[in-house]
């Protein structure tokens, strides 16, 4: 009997189907940007053609099959549904407009002036669209765009870089400390059809400056949404960044976030990632400690139920001597949810006297919930202090018994223990309205029957 080799077609290979749709779309978009930006987009296209989307056997996406979910729902050759200006009024009632913050209002990734509350340029802060940034501040944008988030190593970064038409450019000049946090208020509107969004944000933080950035999302509409976001941040000498992300999406939505930060001499990076709901949430956080005495502090909390999949991949790359990093992520998984934590620390040969610490702790509330944890250290220097650790288990029965013996119901005792488990991450949030908002979501997650 002769066996014929099966041809792989777009019908039985979801990655091929999407690749073909994206190829058509990319051809239309190349040439729309300024020269140097367009060259980066061309390189991103080549990287994407070479690597394609993640395959089931790709180690970095081993537990997170995004492509099959995309193939079932999204057509990448279609246009993004637009929101009419007359519809903007309904977003202006959002509670964020009562807070003492600067606001970058975006609808499906597009910066919308009617929804923005921006600082005066006299403050030393420039905030505009990435298109305007390319035209008005080409050198500043080109020095960051495609330079920190690596188009060669992540397929979704290359996809974003070659397809992006939306995003925000922020420049904070030297010696500037804004009096308010800057909020990315992302309004996602899928009321007119499936939405596919590729925002690309560029932030340049000047020497001796300090800034707080908060990313929030508000969704309306019943159609599924795929967001593939890239944020590149350059932190100059002795600057300080506090970067908060709050991710709480509809059950059918897929969110991929690639954030890459380059820290120069004496820079301090603080990141806080809170993930609660969505069909798939994938966070790729890469921090490059480029020069001496730079620091990175990474905090994450994920609480999932139903069938949500939350995947956190982090990299802290120690490239210079005398740098410090500390990473702590915690997860609570219930029902059929799945969590993934893959944290990597690299210590390069030149990075002597490095201190790097990493921990990941998880609680499973059901027998059907899963967590896949993989802490990693790769060290090429000898004068270092590095530790990592990971734990996964259930609620401590002795602690539960102790609270029950004091007259506390089992439900309330479990809630108290879970809140205590999450408290050291929550305590890092010093912005009152944001802490209150996160606390309300946690309360809903831990005892939904009371809400």
How far apart, in whole angstroms, are the C-alpha atoms of residue 383 and residue 351?
9
- What is the structure's pLDDT at 35? 66
Q: Give me the chain's average pLDDT, please.
A: 89
**Residues 240 and 176: beta-carbon distance below 8 Å:** no
Q: How confident is the model at residue 2 (pLDDT cuts 50, 70, 90)?
A: very low
Rounded average pLDDT over 303-321: 97
Domain-embedded: residue 341: yes
Residue 21 inside a domain? The answer is no
Q: Closest Cα to residue 270, out of 353, 181, 189? A: 181
Of 176 and 57, the one with more pLDDT: 176
**In a shared domain, residues 290 and 420:** no
The yes-or-no verdict on residue 7 having pLDDT over 50 is no
Residue 6 lies in a domain: no
End residue of a domain, out of 397, 426, 442: 397
% of the chain residues with pLDDT over 70: 89
Give the model confidence (pLDDT) of 117-145 as tens digits. 999 989 999 999 999 999 999 999 999 99
How many structural domains are present in the chain? 2
User: Is 50 exceeded by the pLDDT of residue 6?
Assistant: no
Each residue's pLDDT tens digit, 205-242 = 999 999 999 999 999 989 999 999 999 999 999 999 99
Longest dimension (CA), the chain: 80
Q: What is the mean pLDDT of residues 50-69?
A: 88
Strands 195-197 and 225-235: parallel
Per-residue model confidence (pLDDT) at position 3: 36
- Residue 180: inside a domain: yes
For the chain, what percentages of helix, strand and coil (3-state, to nearest 5) are there? 30, 40, 35
The residue from 397, 416, 437 where one domain ends is 397
Over residues 359-373, mean pLDDT: 96
Eight-class DSSP state of 117: B
Three-class secondary structure assignment of the chain = CCCCCCCCCCCCCHHHHHHHHHHHHHHHHCCCCCHHHHHHHHHHHHHHHHHCCCCCCCHHHCCCCHHHHHHHHCCCCCCCCCCCHHHHHHHCCCHHHHCCCEEEEEECCEECHHHCECCCHHHCEEEEEHHHHHHHCHHHHHCCCCCCCCCCCCHHHHHHHHHCCECEEEEECCCCCCCCCEEEEEEEECCCCCEEECEEEEEEECCCCEEEEEEEEEEECCCCEEEEEEEEEEECCCCEEEEEEEEECCCCCEEEEEEEEEECCCCEEEEEEEEEECCEEEEEEEEEECCCCCEEEEEEEEEECCCCEEEEEEEEEECCCCCEEEEEEEEEECCCCEEEEEEEEEECCCCCCEEEEEEEEEEECCCCCEEEEEEEEEECCCCEEEEEEEEEECCCHHHHHHHHCCCCCHHHHHHHHHHHHHHHHHCCCCCHHHHHHHHHHHHHHHCHHHC
The answer to whether residues 446 and 338 belong to one domain is no
State whether 240 and 368 are in the same domain: yes
CA distance 131 to 117: 19
> Of the candidates 227, 232, 365, which has an alpha carbon nearest to the alpha carbon of residue 288?
232
pLDDT at 163: 86
* Domain identity same for 393 and 412: no
Q: Note the Cα 320 to chain centre separation in Å.
A: 25
Over range 39-60, report the average pLDDT.
Answer: 87
pLDDT in tens, 369-426: 999 999 999 999 999 999 999 999 999 889 998 999 999 988 889 889 999 999 999 9
For residues 432 and 341, membership in a common domain is answered with no
**Secondary element (H or E) of residue 274:** strand 268-277
5-14, 97-106, 116-125, 250-259 — which is least confidently predicted? 5-14
Average pLDDT for 139-160: 92
Structural domain includes residue 40 = no
40-54, 162-176, 285-299, 419-433 — which is least confidently predicted? Answer: 40-54
8 in a structural domain? no
Among 354, 381, 397, give the residue marking a domain's end. Answer: 397
Candidates 325, 317, 368; CA nearest to 346 is 317
pLDDT band at 302 (very low <50, low <70, confident <90, very high): very high
Residue 74's pLDDT band (boundaries 50, 70, 90)? confident
Q: Are strands 110-111 and 102-107 parallel, antiparallel or unpaired?
A: antiparallel
In this structure, the answer to whether residues 291 and 430 fall within a common structural domain is no
pLDDT at 282: 98
**Domain that includes residue 429, residue range:** 398-451
Question: Do 354 and 402 lie in a common domain?
Answer: no
Q: At what angle do helices 14-29 and 35-51 cross, to 10 degrees?
A: 170
**27 found inside a domain:** no
Pairing of strands 182-189, 102-107: parallel
- Return the higher-pLDDT residue of 165 and 171: 171
Q: Which helix (H) or strand (E) holds 175?
A: none
Same structural domain, 149 and 166: yes
Q: Which residues lie closer than 8 Å to 142 by C-beta, 6 or more apart?
A: 36, 37, 134
For residues 222 and 332, membership in a common domain is answered with yes
On the CB side of 61, CA atoms within 13 Å amount to 20
Asked if residue 292 is part of any domain, the answer here is yes
**Residue 63: which residues within 8 A CB-CB, separation 6 or more?**
311, 338, 340, 372
Report d(CA 356, CA 321) in Å as an integer: 12
DSSP alpha helix (H) spans, 9-153: 14-29, 35-51, 66-73, 130-136, 138-142
Q: List Cβ neighbours of 119 (8 Å cut-off, separation of 6 or more).
A: 102, 125, 127, 178, 180
Say whether both 280 and 350 belong to one domain.
yes
355/436 same-domain check:
no
104 and 214: one domain?
yes
């Amino acid at each position: 009997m002769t066996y014929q080799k099966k041809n792989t077609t777009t019908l039985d290979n979801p990655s091929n189907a999407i690749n073909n749709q994206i190829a058509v779309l990319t051809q239309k978009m190349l040439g729309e940007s300024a020269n140097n930006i367009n060259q980066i987009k061309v390189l991103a296209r080549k990287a994407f053609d070479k690597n394609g989307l993640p395959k089931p056997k790709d180690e970095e996406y081993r537990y997170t099959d995004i492509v099959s979910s995309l193939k079932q729902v999204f057509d990448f050759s279609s246009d993004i549904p637009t929101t009419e200006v007359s519809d903007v009024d309904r977003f202006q009632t959002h509670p964020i407009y009562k807070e003492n913050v600067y606001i970058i209002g975006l609808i499906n990734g597009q910066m919308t002036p009617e929804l923005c509350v921006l600082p005066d340029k006299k403050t030393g802060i420039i905030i505009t669209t990435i298109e305007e940034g390319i035209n008005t501040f080409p050198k500043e944008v080109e020095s960051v765009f495609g330079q920190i988030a690596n188009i060669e190593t992540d397929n979704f970064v290359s996809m974003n870089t070659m397809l992006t038409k939306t995003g925000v450019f922020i420049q904070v000049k030297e010696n500037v400390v804004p009096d308010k946090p800057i909020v990315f208020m992302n309004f996602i509107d899928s009321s007119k059809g499936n939405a596919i969004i590729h925002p690309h944000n560029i932030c340049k933080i000047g020497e001796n400056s300090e800034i707080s950035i908060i990313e929030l999302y508000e969704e309306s509409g019943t159609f599924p949404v795929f967001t593939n976001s890239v944020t590149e941040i350059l932190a100059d000498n002795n600057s300080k960044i506090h970067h908060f992300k709050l991710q709480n999406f509809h059950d059918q939505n897929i969110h991929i976030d690639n954030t890459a930060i380059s820290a120069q001499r004496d820079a301090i990076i603080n990141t806080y990632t809170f993930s609660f709901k969505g069909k798939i949430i994938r966070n790729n956080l890469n921090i490059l400690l480029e020069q001496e005495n730079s620091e990175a502090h990474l905090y994450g909390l994920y609480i999932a139920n139903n069938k949500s999949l939350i995947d956190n991949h982090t990299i802290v790359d120690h490239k210079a001597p005398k740098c410090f990093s500390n990473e702590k992520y915690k997860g609570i998984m219930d029902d059929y949810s799945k969590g993934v934590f893959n944290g990597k620390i690299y210590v390069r040969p030149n990075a002597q006297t490095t201190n790097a610490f990493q921990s990941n702790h998880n609680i499973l509330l059901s027998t059907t919930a899963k967590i896949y944890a993989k802490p990693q250290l790769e060290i090429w220097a000898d004068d270092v202090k590095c530790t990592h650790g990971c734990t996964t288990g259930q609620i401590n029965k002795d602690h539960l018994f102790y609270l029950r013996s004091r007259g506390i119901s089992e439900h309330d005792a479990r809630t108290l223990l879970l809140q205590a488990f999450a408290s050291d991450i929550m305590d890092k949030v010093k912005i009152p309205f944001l802490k209150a908002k996160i606390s309300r979501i946690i309360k809903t997650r831990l005892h939904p029957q009371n809400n």
